[in-house]
């Protein structure tokens, strides 16, 4: 074999690796985020947290640049979720619930569109390739740069970049939560008949549903609080206010995110006769911290280390 042929052979063998190392490695996450919104796919994935496990059948379609999805629980109560754009319809034994999708990134659409925010808080590295749901997938590890958040391990389909598996670990490498596809098929043709078949059996998309719960508001006219010394990397992404049942008072939910992790900070007036609570507890994969401040119960909740929720609870001042 001539020297030229040997060099050519070596180049062909190592070019995939060269391609990854020469491009910005963060681009793969951006491609993955786009894939989860753009691709048509159908499959079954299995989710596990410390408290429970369940399987879900998912159909996702992008029709005329609008996302539609159908998720059906295969274990326990036969609940179903349908998405059409940013509206989410939940069908359960309690009836039909409607939510507006703002910060919910249901698996496999777990990556944010703004990857730059992730760069400040996580270190990216590549792991081994593994076979997931009969597809080859590249492991991407997003390791926290500090102790304020957990680590995210994402297996991305090497051909179309869809996340196939997600594992969240704490600072001691203990698994907190994971979701993984067990079967998946791509390039299915979904058209307007898909909407008719899936949605209109359960939901009339042309009907304007009126919500029974009139207590949730997204408008706050008078913020009476200040935030100081927030944990690094988190920024406020939403604010929800609700009327306290039976009282002419509002309680508030501030939502913060670093791009992957979310923390809710609740400011709730304490009714007379109720003792305020202080301390930190863990429920499953979620840590909760509570503090009392000038007649208000402050609570922060999130799948983040206890130190982080403690810092959030202490960041409020009136």
Note the residues at the interface with other proteins (CB under 8 A): 47, 49, 52, 54, 56, 71, 73, 79, 81, 88, 90, 92, 94-99, 102-107, 110, 166, 177, 179, 209-213, 216, 238, 240, 242, 253, 255, 257, 262, 264, 266, 270, 275-281, 283, 286, 288, 290, 292, 295, 299, 301-302
Tell me how far apart the alpha carbons of residues 39 and 61 are, in angstroms, rounded to a whole number.
7
Smallest gap, in angstroms, from Cβ of residue 64 to other proteins?
A: 25
* Residues contacting residue 161 through CB under 8 Å, at least 6 positions apart: 28, 31, 32, 34, 35
Tell me how far apart the alpha carbons of residues 280 and 150 are, in angstroms, rounded to a whole number.
18
Smallest gap, in angstroms, from Cβ of residue 15 to other proteins?
A: 35
Tell me how far apart the alpha carbons of residues 168 and 303 are, in angstroms, rounded to a whole number.
10
Smallest gap, in angstroms, from Cβ of residue 299 to other proteins?
A: 6
Tell me how far apart the alpha carbons of residues 285 and 168 are, in angstroms, rounded to a whole number.
10
With contact defined as beta carbons under 8 Å apart, do 85 and 203 qualify?
no
Tell me how far apart the alpha carbons of residues 18 and 40 are, in angstroms, rounded to a whole number.
30
Q: What is the full DSSP assignment across 214-237?
A: --EE---S----EE-SPPTT-EEE
> 24 or 114, CB closer to other proteins?
114
> 10 or 247, CB closer to other proteins?
247
Q: DSSP letter for 124, please.
A: E
CB-facing half-sphere around the CA of 315: CA atoms within 13 A: 24
Residue 21 to residues 17, 28, 245, 309: CA-CA distances in angstroms? 6, 11, 56, 37
Q: DSSP letter for 116, please.
A: H
> 93 or 226, CB closer to other proteins?
93
> 45 or 190, CB closer to other proteins?
45
Smallest gap, in angstroms, from Cβ of residue 93 to other proteins?
A: 11
> 68 or 266, CB closer to other proteins?
266
Smallest gap, in angstroms, from Cβ of residue 216 to other proteins?
A: 7
Smallest gap, in angstroms, from Cβ of residue 133 to other proteins?
A: 17
> 227 or 270, CB closer to other proteins?
270
Smallest gap, in angstroms, from Cβ of residue 159 to other proteins?
A: 23
Smallest gap, in angstroms, from Cβ of residue 213 to other proteins?
A: 5
Tell me how far apart the alpha carbons of residues 127 and 220 are, in angstroms, rounded to a whole number.
45
> 23 or 180, CB closer to other proteins?
180
Structure tokens at 79: 């609940």
* Residues contacting residue 63 through CB under 8 Å, at least 6 positions apart: 190, 191, 192, 194, 195
> 95 or 128, CB closer to other proteins?
95
How many residues does the structure list for the chain?
A: 318
């Amino acid at each position: 074999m001539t020297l030229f042929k040997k060099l050519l052979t070596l180049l062909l063998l190592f070019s995939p690796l060269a391609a990854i190392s020469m491009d910005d490695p963060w681009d793969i996450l951006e491609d993955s985020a786009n894939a989860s919104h753009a691709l048509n796919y159908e499959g079954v994935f299995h989710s596990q947290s410390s408290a429970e496990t369940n399987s879900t059948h998912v159909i996702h379609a992008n029709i005329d640049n609008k996302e539609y999805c159908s998720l059906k629980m295969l274990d326990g109560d036969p609940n179903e979720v349908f998405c059409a754009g940013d509206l989410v319809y939940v069908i359960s034994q309690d009836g039909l619930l409607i939510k507006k999708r703002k910060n919910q990134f249901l698996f496999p659409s777990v990556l944010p569109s703004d990857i730059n925010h992730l760069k400040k808080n996580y270190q990216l590295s590549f792991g081994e390739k593994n076979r997931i749901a009969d597809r080859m997938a590249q492991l991407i590890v997003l390791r926290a740069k500090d102790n304020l958040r957990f680590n995210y391990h994402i297996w991305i389909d090497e051909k179309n970049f869809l996340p196939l598996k997600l594992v969240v670990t704490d600072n001691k490498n203990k698994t907190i939560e994971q979701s993984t596809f067990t079967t998946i098929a791509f390039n299915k043709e979904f058209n307007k008949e898909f909407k008719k078949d899936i949605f209109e059996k359960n939901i009339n998309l042309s009907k304007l549903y009126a919500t029974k719960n009139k207590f949730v508001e997204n408008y706050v006219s008078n913020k009476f609080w200040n935030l100081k010394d927030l944990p690094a990397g988190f920024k406020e992404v939403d604010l929800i206010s609700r009327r306290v049942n039976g009282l002419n008072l509002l309680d508030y939910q501030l939502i913060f995110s670093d791009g992957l992790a979310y923390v809710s900070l609740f400011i709730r007036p304490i009714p007379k006769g109720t003792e305020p609570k202080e301390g930190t507890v863990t429920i499953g994969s979620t840590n909760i911290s509570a503090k009392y401040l000038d007649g208000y119960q402050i609570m922060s909740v999130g799948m983040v280390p206890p130190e982080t929720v403690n810092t959030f609870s202490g960041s409020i001042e009136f």
